[in-house]
């Protein structure tokens, strides 16, 4: 009985040691993975150190790309400009455009009659002068709000 008890306790102690070793190994592996992940994250944010040489190389490439884009735009604008006339050029080349809107309105039945006599005499118009208003003061914007 004593011998069995001794053997069982020895086996239990050995099993506890093995379990502790497995736990410590798992913890170490977990810590190692966390450390590697942290290092990888640091590498993402670290990037390339900027030196004068690196910056000048990058600037030259960037300027070349911008110049190429500008050249493409200029070519596109030139091609579009060759086919398209400005409004002034259109009116200079085709004098029918002067009356085309009027003709279009007449064809649609939207005849607008204007009494030109209303615009001939400016003396007949009743225009109010702010100087005539006794309550008006130029410095006070609310003084004219009663009108």
- What integer is the mean pLDDT of 110-129? 67
CA-based max dimension of the chain: 136
Tens of pLDDT, residue by residue over 2-60, are: 889 999 999 999 999 999 999 999 999 999 999 999 998 888 888 788 899 999 999 99
- Decide: 93 and 87 in contact? Cβ < 8 Å: no
The pLDDT value recorded for residue 42 is 86
Kindly report each contact of residues 137-141 with a partner whose C-beta sits within 8 Å and lies 24 or more positions away, as own/partner: none
Q: How far is CA 112 from the centre of its chain?
A: 46
pTM of the model: 0.31
CA distance linking residue 30 with residue 38, whole number of Å? 12
pLDDT at 134 over 70: no
pLDDT at 147 over 50: no
* Degrees to nearest 5, angle at CA 138 with 135 and 144: 45
């Amino acid at each position: 009985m004593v011998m069995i008890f001794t053997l069982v306790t020895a086996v239990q102690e050995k099993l506890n040691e093995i379990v502790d070793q497995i736990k410590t190994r798992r913890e170490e592996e977990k810590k190692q993975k966390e450390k590697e992940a942290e290092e990888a994250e640091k590498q993402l944010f670290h990037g390339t150190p900027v030196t004068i040489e690196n910056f000048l190389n990058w600037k030259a490439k960037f300027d070349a790309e911008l110049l190429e884009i500008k050249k493409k735009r200029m070519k596109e604008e030139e091609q579009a400009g060759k086919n398209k006339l400005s409004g002034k050029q259109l009116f200079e080349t085709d004098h029918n455009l002067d009356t085309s809107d009027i003709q279009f309105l007449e064809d649609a039945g939207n005849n607008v009659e204007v009494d030109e006599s209303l615009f001939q005499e400016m003396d007949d118009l009743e225009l109010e002068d702010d100087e005539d208003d006794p309550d008006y003061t130029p410095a006070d914007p609310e003084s004219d709000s009663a009108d």
